[in-house]
Structure 1
Amino acid sequence: MFDKFIKKFISSPKNNESKPANDANQADPVLTFLNSNYEITSDWFELFTHFILLDQHNKMPTKEWYTEAESLIEKVGKDEFMKIGIQWIKDCIEKSKEDQRRFKHLGPMAANDPMQENLGVTYGNTPDWVRKVYGEDAFEGGFFKLQQYFALNHFQNYFYQSLGGRIMRGFIQSAVILKDPQLLELVDLLALTNPNSSQDPIHIYSQFEPEISVSKLTNLKAKAKNKNILKRIDKAIAEVGKKSGLSKAEIEESVIPDYGINDQGEYIFQFGAIKGVFVIKNLKDNETFYVLQNGKKQKTAPAELKDNYPDQLKEFKKKIKEIKTSLSSQRVRIEEFFLTSHSIPYKTFVKNYITHNLIRILSKDLIWNFKSDDKNVNLLFHNGQFVDSNGDPFLENLDECSVTLWHPIGFESDYILSWRSFLIKNEILQAFKQAFREIYIITDAELNTESYSNRFASHILNKDHVAALCKVRGWSPSGIINNGKVTYRIPGTDYKAEYWVSDLYLGEHSKTYGSAHISTDQVRFYKKKDQLPLSEVPALIFSEVMRDIDLFVGVTSIGNDPEWHDRGGEGAQGYWSNYTNGELTERSKIRAEILKNLIPKMKIANKCSFDGKYLKVKGEVRNYKIHMGSGNILMEPNDQYLCIVPDRSSSKLKKVFIPFEGDNMLSIVISKALLLAEDDKIKDPTITRQISMK
C-alpha cells in the first residue's frame, strides 16, 4: 500500500506522447527534457552531477565550485546552457507553484511533483550519475530522504528535496559566473516570490558588485519575514560593505539606484514618438500615463505600443514595479533609523537623501535633526530649502553637522504640535508616522511593578492576525506556540522585549495550531540574558516597543470586530463591551487629534462634534457616537449598538487628506461619519433596520 502511495506521487503524472526516455546510464541518451525530445550528452550529466553536490541549502558554492561549474558549462556550450537553463528555471518556478497548491490540500508527502521525468528518473530507476553523489541513500525514484521531508515548507520541499529543484540551484548559481541579465532576472523572480526560502538568491546577490547586490538585498529584506533569512541578508550586506571599507549602514545608503528618475520625480520611457511617464509624488500618490505625438495624455497604453513595442512596453511596466518595490524597501530601511540612531555627515546626507532622485521622494517629507558643536536644529526639506516647524527657512551653514532622523520623544507637546500643524497645513504625507508618532512614557504603575508592564494585559486577540502582524513589524511570533511569548530583538542593540500571551479557546481553531485566540499578559525587557527594571530601559526603545504592542492590540483585538457583540462566552462579551467603549490608548489619541483637525474641513463639519473618546454625528434620522479607538457606534438616546461594515474605498474617503499611512481604523471612523451624517440616504436594509429600532 505504501509503495503504491509513493509511486502515485513520485513517478511522473504526465502521459507524454514524445519518445520514451532511454536508460539514463547509457551514453548520449534521448530524454523527455522540458516536455520535448532533447539529446542530452554525458557532458550534461557531468554538469548535473556537479550541481547536485550542493545538496544542503545551508551549503553555498565555493570559489572552487564556481570554477569547476564554469569549465563544465563551457563543455556543453554557453548558448545551449542558457537556452535550456532559462527554460528550466521558469518551468521549476511553475512547478513550485503547483507544489504549493498540492501542499495546501494534500500535505507534504503529496506535494512533491518533481521534474525527475525530465531527467530519465522514474520509479525504481535512479541513474548512476545521481548515485555518484547520494549512493544507496538515494530513494528509489523519489530521491528525497523522508525523515527530512516533513519539516520543510511547501517551497522548500521542491527546491531542496527534489532532484529537479537541486539542479535548478545549480542553474541559478551560474548567474554568478555568467553575469547574464536574464538569469539574474530569474533569480529576482525566485527570491521575491519565495522570500522566506531565499538562501541561494542572498548568496548570489552578495557575489555581485555593490551597486547590484545591496539594492537587491534591501528589496528582498522588505519582503522576507523569516528571522534567519533576515539575519542572512543583514550579514550579506555587511560583508559587501566591508569589502568596500564601509559599514553596513553606509553601504546601504551609498549604492541605491535612482532608476533614471528626474528631479521632478518622473520616470520617462520613450517609445518612438510616444512617451510613457510614471510620476511619483510620494508613496501613495503616483500615476502612469502616456503622452502622444500630438501632446495629449492618456491613462492606458496606446494600441500602437502594444502592436509595435511589446517588449519595450513590458520593460516600462517592469521598471515601474521595480521603482515601487525599491521605494517600499527604502521606507522600511529609513524607519529603522529610529532604533539604530544612524548618524550621517551632512554632505553625505545631501548627496544620498536630498539630491538622490529616488530617496528624496521619501526623505524630503521627513524631519531631520542637524547637530554640531554650535547647532542642534530640526528641519524638513520643503520647496527646495530646509525649514523649521514654523515653515521659516533655515539659512545658516550646516556643513559640519551630523544628521539623524528626528523622533518626537522628549520634546514639549507645543513643539510637536507645531510640526503636526505644518504637515496638515501643507498637506505633506510622511512615508511613515513621525510627527504624529505615538509616544509611550513609563507610568507610575509600571515603576511600581518594576520589572514588567501590565499596560496591555488582559486583551483577547486573534492569534493568526497577531502572528502575521508580528512578522511585518520584525517580531518573532513562534513563541506563541512554544512558550507563550512573542519576542522582539531591537536592531543593532543587545535589548530584547517579550509580550507574554496564552491560548484562549472561544470555539474557534487557529489556521496553524491550537485555539484561534490568545489572551495577553506582561511586557518584559532584557539586555542580553538579564531582565531589566523598566526604569533602566532606554526611553526610545520602551516607547517603540509599546507602540508596536499597541498596534497589535488595536488591529487584532476582538473588540474591533463588530460581529463579536453577540458572540463568545460571558467573559469574551464582557471584554468586547469594555474594549469598544474603553479609554483611548496613545494610538487612539493620535487618531482623535487627526480627526479634530480633519473633520472641521469636511462638508459634514456642522453635523459633527467631539465628546471625550467619541466623535458625535448628527444624522437626519438619529444621532450617533463613534468610539475613536474601536470604531464602534452607539445610537442615542439609549446607546443602542449599531453594526456597520464600512466602505473604505468610497470616492468621498479618497478625497480626505491624511498626513500618514497605516491607520486603517482612522479611515473606518471617517467613512462611518460620512455615512451616518446622511443616514436618510442609506439603502442597506441591514443598517436601516437597526436605525429604525428605537
Structure 2
Amino acid sequence: MSPRTLRSVLSAPLEGHAPESEGDRPAPTLRIVPAEEALAGRLGRTTRRALDLIREQSHDSRPAPDHWERLADSAYAGFARTALEAAAARAAAIQAGDIRYAADKAFTAEEIAVLGRACRVALLRDEPWLPELLERLLPAIAVAPTPARTLPSQALLFELARSAQEFPTPEAAAALRAVRGVVRHAGVPKQLDRALKRIDAALSERPEVAFRLPDLGFGPDGVHRAPFGEYEARITVGDDVMLTWHRQDGRELRGMPAAIRRDRPERLTELRALLKRTRAHLTTLTRALEATLLAEAGQPYGRWRAEQAEHPIGRPLTERLLWEVEVAPGQWRSGLPVEGGRRFIDAAGEPWAVADEDAPIRLWHPARAVPEEIRAWRGHLTERRIRQPFPQVFREIYPLGPAERKTRSYSGRFAGRGVRFRQVYALMKARGWEPAMLGPWDGGHEGVATRVIAGRGWRGRLFLEYADPARQEDLAITGQVRFERRTEDGWRAAVLEEVPPVVFSELMRDVDLFIGAGG
C-alpha cells in the first residue's frame, strides 16, 4: 500500500458521521482501524500471522518478541507513523475546537488497540520521529480543552504508557513525566507514576538506548543561558535543575524581573517548558541508572564517557555516583569520576585513569564489595558531603546467611510475617513485582509474587498465604523466598549459592521493604 493510498484511507470520513448541530465544525474522522485491516491484507503470510497473534494478546499473555520484530521489519512500520500522526491530528483538532469535546471519547477501543500496536512498533524500532510526535500527542490527549478535570482519552494515554513499558525509550519516559505534571484528572498521576516505575526498570534491559540524553542547548558547564534583553535566564543542572535570573553583568537577581512576565510571556512559557523537560530527562536517567545497579557486564567505557559523563545534563549526576571498571579480566576497580569521566578518584582520594576505551564500566554495588571497601567509600562521601541521587554507597545489603546456606534452595528469613495485603499489593506492583491476588474465595488462600530482574535472567518468588478473614481481614502471611534462573527450557530452580549476590540482595531488600510497609 502506497503512502498516498494509506493516507486516503486514514482521512476518509466515517459513514454516517455528521455534525451534531449546525454550529459544529467537525474535522474528518480518521479511519485508523480500517487502515490497519487494509494493510494486513497486503502483508506476507508470516507477518500476517505475527500480527494476528499480537492482536489476540491479553494483559496476562504477551506475544513473543520475535512477533513484534517481524512486524517491525515489515510495511507495518510505515503504517505506524501514519496512524500515530492521524491520532495526533485528531487530538489537535479536539484541542482547537474543530471536533466537539467529550471526555474519554476521542478514540474507540478498537482504535486504541491499533495505536498501541503502532506505538510499540515505533518504540521497538527506536524511530527518530517518535519523540517529537509523542510530545505533541500525549498532552493533547491528557488535558481537556476546557477547564474540566477530564481528558480526551484516558485509555489511549495508558495504552501508550503500556507500550513504553514493553519497549522503553528515555524520550517516551520523559514525555510521560511531562504529561504527568499537567494532567488535571485526580487519579491519572498515580497510574502514570506506577507505569513510569516499570518503564524506568525496563530501560535497564535496553542499554543501547537507556542513557541517551537530548541536546537541549546546555553548555559544557551544565548551564543553559537564555537572553531576555538586559537580563539573562540560566537553567543549571546540579543536584537539582534550577532556574535563576541575572543581569548582563552576571549579578544574580533574587527573582524574575516583573518586566519579563509582562513583556515576554511567550518566551517565558518556552523557558519553563525547557525547565520541565530537563527535569523529566534527568529523572528518567536517574531511575534508569538505579535499575542498572543489578547489571553484571557493564558498558564500554568510551561510550559511557561520551553519552553520560561528558554530557552537560548527565555529568552532574554521573559524578555523584560510584562506578567500577574492569581493569583486568575479573578484576574491577572502583572510583568517583571527575573531569567528565576522564579520571577517577579512589576512596583514599588518589586519582587513576582508564587505559582501554572498550573496558566495561558499571555502577558499583555494595553487595559485590568487601566490608573494608564499603566503610572507606562511606567515609569518603560523608567527608566530601556528596549527596547521591539514590541510595548506593549507603544502600542496605542482604548477604546470604548461614541458615540459607543450610536450606540451600530457599530463604526463610522473612517467613511468618503478617502484612496488610492490599497495601503490600500496591507496593509490589510499584516495585516491579507481579503479585497474585489473595482473598476469601476459592483458590485465593495462597499465591506467589514474582519479580524478574537482571536482564530477565533471574526471577525471585515470594510465597504468600491469606490469613483467616474471620480473625484478621486482609492479612497475608509471608512464606519462603525462592530463586529461579532462566534457561533455554524455561525457568529452573536455583540453589541460593548460585544466585549473584546483587540479585539476592536486591530481591531480599524488596521483601524486607514489603514487611516494613505492610506490617
- Structure 1 length as normaliser, TM-score? 0.53
Bigger relative contact order, structure 1 or 2, given CA contacts below 8 A and separation 6+? Answer: 2
Q: Is residue 499 from structure 1 mapped to residue 462 from structure 2 by the alignment?
A: yes
- 1:317 maps onto 2:275 in alignment: no
Alignment of 1:8-407 (within 5 A): 31-32=19-20, 36-38=23-25, 44=28, 47=31, 50=34, 63=75, 85-88=91-94, 114=105, 159-161=107-109, 183-189=133-139, 198-200=158-160, 214-219=169-174, 225=194, 248-253=206-211, 255-282=212-239, 285-292=240-247, 295-298=250-253, 300-373=255-328, 376-382=332-338, 385-394=343-352, 397=355, 399=357, 401-407=359-365
Counterpart position of 2:387: 429
Q: Which residue of 1 aligns with 2:451?
A: 488
CA contact (8 A) 2:414 2:478 kept: yes
8 A Cα contact 1:198 1:229, kept in partner: no
Query: Which residue type is aligned with residue 311 of structure 1?
Result: E
C-alpha displacement of 1:537: 2.3
> How much has 1:263 moved relative to structure 2?
2.9
SS of equivalent to 1:331: helix
Distance 1:472 1:400, change over 3 A: same
Matched, 1:546 2:508: yes
Q: Is the 8 A contact 1:409 1:439 kept in 2?
A: yes
State the alpha-carbon separation in 2 of the partners of residues 228 and 408 from structure 1: 23
Distance 1:90 1:487 in 2: 46
2:403 matches 1:453:
no
Change (3 A) 1:58 1:448: same
Compute the displacement of 1:366 (Å).
Answer: 1.4
Using the TM superposition, give the Cα deviation of residue 346 of structure 1 relative to its aligned residue in structure 2, in angstroms.
Answer: 2.3
- Residue by residue over 1:88-143, the C-alpha shift from the partner in whole angstroms, topping out at 9 and shown as x without a partner, is 268899978x56xxxxxxxxxxxxxx46xxxxxxxxxxxxxxxxxxxxxxxxxxxx
CA distance in 1, matches of 2:428, 2:409: 23
**3-state SS, counterpart of residue 38 of structure 1:** coil
CA shift for structure 1 position 360: 1.5
Distance 1:206 1:543 in 2: 25
Q: Measure the CA separation in 2 of the matches of 1:485 and 1:331.
A: 30
Task: Report the 3-state secondary structure (helix = DSSP H, G, I; strand = E; otherwise coil) of the residue aligned with 2:350.
Answer: coil
Count of paired positions: 438
- AA matched with 2:221: Q
What code does the residue aligned with 2:109 have?
Q
TM-score normalised per structure 2: 0.68
When residues 180 and 251 of structure 1 are mapped into structure 2, their CA distance, relative to the original with a 3 A threshold, is closer
Identify if the C-alpha distance between structure 1 residues 526 and 423 changes in structure 2 by more than 3 Å, giving closer, same or farther: same
RMSD: 4.9
- Structure 2: where are the runs of 5+ without partners? 1-13, 41-51, 56-70, 144-153, 178-191
**Cα distance, 1:205–1:225 mapped onto 2, change above 3 Å:** closer
Which of 378, 387, 400 is equivalent to 1:420?
378
**Partner-residue secondary structure (3-state), 1:372:** strand
Distance 2:269 2:35 in 1: 32
The 2-side partners of 1:197 and 1:415 are apart by: 46
Kept in 1, the 8 Å contact 2:201–2:291? The answer is no
* Separation in structure 1 between the aligned mates of residue 128 and residue 499 of structure 2, nearest angstrom: 51
SS at match of 2:328: coil
SS at match of 1:497: strand
Query: 499-508 or 338-347: which moved more?
Result: 499-508
Distance 1:68 1:328 in 2: 28
- From the superposition, tell whether residues 203 and 537 of structure 1 become closer, same or farther in structure 2 (CA, over 3 Å): closer
What is the Cα deviation at residue 495 of structure 1? 1.9
Distance (whole Å) between structure 1 residues aligned to residue 76 and residue 157 of structure 2: 25
Distance 1:263 1:446 in 2: 50
- Whichever residue aligns with residue 232 of structure 2, its letter is K
CA distance in 1, matches of 2:18, 2:135: 30
Could you tell me how far 1:335 is from its partner in structure 2? 2.0
Contact kept? 1:456, 1:520, Cα under 8 Å: yes
Give the match for residue 61 of structure 2.
none
Is the alpha carbon distance of 1:372 and 1:93 closer, same or farther for their aligned partners in structure 2, counting shifts above 3 Å?
farther
- Is the 1:172–1:187 contact (alpha carbons within 8 Å) kept by the matching residues of 2? no
1:295 positional shift: 5.0
Task: Give the 3 Å change call, closer, same or farther, for CA 232–523 of structure 1 in structure 2.
Answer: closer
